Each structure stands twice: as structure tokens, then as C-alpha cells.
Structure 1
């Protein structure tokens, strides 16, 4: 199945590109969104999650290295530590709350950033038929420099009617 996922594109929202009242607020916060298309034939969520984990686009350390085809890291974790069973199904309300609290943790986001987040993040969450949240995997799953992210929130959005799976990561580093 992983070979049947097609990367359609990515969106990167860098908080430093917006004007905050407190210049320390944006720090190094960002949202990275990777959209992949899957065939419409029916497969279960577990198979879709496994295909995503096995896809090249998943091999991103989110620390400036980008996607590495032979990469061993995914965010703060070793790729080998991530499997479909470490994702928790969550509702839209919970995912919205987690992301808005993270985005507004220092001060309310500027209006322009709020508009961009609504369009690129929250509208995608609203369209998803299923949302999964990557659980904290524990110290043994962190790679050798995995502590670079002070916050790391990962969601996988499945939109079966649109044939799309979206990897959404919001983090600080």
C-alpha cells in the first residue's frame, strides 16, 4: 500500500513570518503539512497509517534536514518506534483544542496567522473523517538528538471521500 500513496504537496507555516506583539512569541514555531493521495479502494485505517509510516515523506526529522529517503528519524523519534498502534483516534474538538492552545501558548496569534491556520490546519481537520494523534512514545523512542523539539504535536487526517491522508505536524524547536 505504501507505494500507492502519492505525495501531492506540502505546506509550511512559519510563525516567524507574522508580526507578534511580543517579538519572543514566535520563537521557532511552525506547522508542516504533507498531503498524500491514496487509491479509493477500501483499506482500513491501520493499513493507511502503516503506508504513511513507510512512505518517504514520513522520514523527516523536522529539524532542518527535510525528507531523507534513507532517514532513520521522524521528528523526535526513531522511525522504527512509530507504528499504527501508537496513534490514538481523537475527535475534532480535542485536536482543535490541542492546536489552538499550542499556537496561542505565549499570546494570541496575529489575525493574519489565525486566518492562515484556519485555512490550512483547522479546515483540514473539519474535512477529515478520521483524526489520529501520535502519542508520546517515551524516552526509549527518542533518537540521539530527539530533544530538540520543546513541543511536538502530530496528527494524521484521513479523508476517504477525497482519497487523501494528511500528515500534520505542529512543533517548536
Structure 2
């Protein structure tokens, strides 16, 4: 191999190594959740599993001019909430609103805004209910968000209620 060929091969190898390092830098890092994030996720499971979301939703755009949207009741009995993978969670829920009363397992994406979990749904179909997009956040004993369907949308909000254990015999004295 002559000197010119040797320099060409050396330059090519250097360029390939450089390009490889950039390609590797663009690969998503697979890191384990921090202890703090694991605590947040455990608190989210504890807050919602076995809880009932009781609140209201609105349908915006149909109200008379100058009138606020009418509040309609909703109720979600969350049998179980658990993490499936890095971003998806299983919500087993009984959903009651209007004349609907169905129990379905739902795999929903959950993102985190700091320490606040947010369900982020885009055009997701729910059997018997329709296709929806939504952003719903959970904080302390409340939930709030925005929803939209095929031809309407609105707000939703309410409280997260947990039933007291049956063997709780404490009294206030």
C-alpha cells in the first residue's frame, strides 16, 4: 500500500468513526427510572387503584351565546391502575356518563409534567364510546383536563375519592 492509499484509508476510517459516534449519540439512551420517579409512579398507582373519579364534563360549542357550558356528571370507578411499559399504563375502569355504563380495560399513555402525571390520548377508540383525544392531569385528590371527540369537545374535572376500608373502626373523640 502506498502512502497516498494509506492516508486515504486512514482518513476514511477516521470519518467513519466520527460519523458512528454521531449516530450513536442520536440513539435514545435507555436509562432506568430514578428513585424519585419510581416513588411518583408508586404514588400514582396508590392514588388511582380502587379510587373513584367523580366529577363533571362540559360540551363546548353548543351553548347559547354568552351562556357557560352545561355541567354533566361523570363517574369512573378505577378497579386497577398499573404501569405496563415506559409510557403506557393499564386502567381497568367502569365508566358512567349519560346513558353509558361500561367496564373496559384501557391502555393509556401517561406522561409526566414534573411530578404531575398526565394521560395523553390522541384519537383513541373506546369500544361502545367512540374515538377521543384528551389531556387529563392528576394532582392530589383532583383531576382536570380537556377532551375532544369526532365533532365536539369540552372540559372535565372532579375529585378522586377513595373508599374507606371496611374494617376501619376508628371514631373521632
TM above 0.5, yes or no, is no
Q: Normalization by structure 2: what TM-score?
A: 0.34
* Pair member with larger Rg: 2
Higher relative contact order at CA 8 Å, sep ≥6: structure 1 or structure 2?
1
The answer to which structure has the higher helix fraction is 1
Q: Normalization by structure 1: what TM-score?
A: 0.34
